């Protein structure tokens, strides 16, 4: 939990925040118009995030409710010591709703000795539920699912088994299903717990100050209750094309080495066979996923 602030700190914060509270008294339509103009001025593109002056960040959530990320950030702020952005305004009922947040100017390069980060991620993983609960957003709500280069809003799933069924149902090449089912069977049979997970710990979402301190972890839109291995496999897949990010996570050492290797092996195979990241059969010679089971029952991916 975060340390309690002194009375002086509370008074100073209240005085400094007075102009913003007055701004929030203006109609939503007026505030939305200003935010949209700012977005156009600063050329917000498909990924919807733009740094503004004074350490502000403007985010368009497109057709996804902005309350999802705002609620996730509030939950993390109240239950962990992880530094997160301060949400200044949320407008859910306008086209392409906006979330406007504040943060500190920072860079996204990583000295190798950030071992204290592991404590922060461990705090997140300690926010657990029991085994047989829904895979969902924060309060049993829909969650933003990042998969193979895409984001979509998914309704809550009854349990982890239903989540696994969804992953397999999204496979693009049915010829690989026997091999994938063979790999999935022992992995999905494990009794995984549900943990609150960020799910998008890529290099743009970890902000570091010039002196190497963690400024904030941002972009909590995809956070929710997921199987305990999901944070690990997600961050590894996010690091595939980034040597710096891979070295960073190796230095942090959040997850015990080898603890979720089978889960990661299966995830790599699913990414190889799903959506925009799929590699069709025949492209790679001797692709292990395209070898029929009856020819080799011991192929290792």
Q: In 3-state terms, what secondary structure has residue 298?
A: coil
Q: What is the mean pLDDT of residues 195-209?
A: 85
Q: What is the mean pLDDT of residues 144-165?
A: 89
The per-residue pLDDT for range 84-125, each reduced to its tens digit, is 888 887 777 554 444 444 444 444 344 444 545 667 777 877
Of 8 and 145, more confident = 145
Angle at 24 between CA 67 and CA 140, to 5 degrees: 15
Enumerate the β-bridge partners of residue 253.
Answer: none
Of 215 and 179, more confident = 179
Q: Does domain 117-290 have CATH number 3.90.1200?
A: yes
SS3 readout for 97-149: CEEEEECCCCECCCCCCCCCHHHHHHHHHCCEECCCCCEECCCCCCEEEEECC
The per-residue pLDDT for range 61-85, each reduced to its tens digit, is 777 888 899 899 999 999 988 888 8
Q: Are strands 98-102 and 86-91 parallel, antiparallel or unpaired?
A: antiparallel
C-alpha 170/C-alpha 10 separation (Å) is: 50
Q: If you ran DSSP here, which 8-state letter would residue 61 be given? A: -
Q: How far is CA 257 from the centre of its chain?
A: 22
Q: In 3-state terms, what secondary structure has residue 211?
A: coil
Please state which architecture CATH assigns to domain 19-102: 2-Layer Sandwich (3.30)
| Cβ neighbours of residue 140 closer than 8 Å, sequence gap 6 or more | 134, 156
Domain ranges of the chain: 19-102, 117-290
Residue showing tokens 């010039």: 210
The pLDDT of residue 72: 93
The pLDDT of residue 242: 62
- 238 class by beta-carbon count within 10 Å (0-12 exposed, 13-18 middle, 19+ buried): buried
Q: Find the range with the poorest average confidence among 7-11, 15-19, 248-252.
A: 7-11
Q: If you ran DSSP here, which 8-state letter would residue 34 be given? A: H
Q: How confident is the model at residue 243 (pLDDT cuts 50, 70, 90)?
A: low
Q: How confident is the model at residue 1 (pLDDT cuts 50, 70, 90)?
A: low
For residue 216, pLDDT over 70 is answered with yes
Q: What is the mean pLDDT of residues 136-158?
A: 88
C-alpha 200/C-alpha 234 separation (Å) is: 7
123, 117 contact by CB (below 8 A): no
The per-residue pLDDT for range 46-60, each reduced to its tens digit, is 456 676 766 777 777
């Amino acid at each position: 939990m975060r340390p309690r602030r002194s009375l002086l700190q509370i008074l100073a914060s209240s005085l400094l925040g007075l102009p913003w509270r007055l701004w929030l008294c203006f109609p939503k339509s007026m505030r939305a118009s200003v935010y949209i103009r700012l977005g156009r001025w600063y050329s917000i593109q498909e990924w919807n995030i733009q740094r503004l002056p004074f350490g502000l960040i403007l985010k368009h959530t497109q057709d996804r409710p902005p309350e999802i990320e705002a609620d996730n950030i509030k939950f993390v702020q109240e239950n962990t010591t992880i530094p997160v952005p301060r949400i200044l305004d949320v407008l859910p009922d306008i086209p392409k709703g906006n979330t406007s947040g504040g943060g500190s100017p920072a860079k996204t390069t990583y000295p190798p000795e950030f071992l204290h980060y592991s404590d922060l991620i461990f705090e997140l993983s300690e926010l657990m539920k029991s085994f047989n609960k829904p895979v969902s957003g924060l309060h049993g709500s829909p969650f933003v699912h990042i998969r193979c280069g895409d984001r979509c809003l998914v309704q809550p799933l009854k349990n982890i088994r239903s989540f696994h069924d969804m992953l397999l149902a999204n496979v693009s090449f049915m010829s690989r299903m026997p091999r994938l089912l063979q790999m999935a069977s022992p992995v999905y049979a494990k009794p995984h717990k549900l943990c609150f997970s960020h799910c998008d710990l890529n290099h743009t979402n970890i902000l570091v100050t010039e002196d190497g301190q963690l400024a904030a972890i941002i972009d909590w839109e995809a956070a929710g209750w997921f199987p305990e291995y999901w944070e690990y496999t997600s961050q590894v897949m996010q690091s595939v094309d980034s040597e710096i990010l891979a070295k960073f996570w190796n230095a942090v050492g959040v997850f015990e080495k080898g603890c979720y290797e089978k889960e990661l092996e299966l995830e790599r195979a699913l990414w190889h066979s799903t959506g925009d990241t799929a590699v069709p059969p025949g492209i790679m010679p001797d692709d292990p996923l395209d070898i029929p089971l009856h020819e080799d029952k011991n192929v290792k991916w």
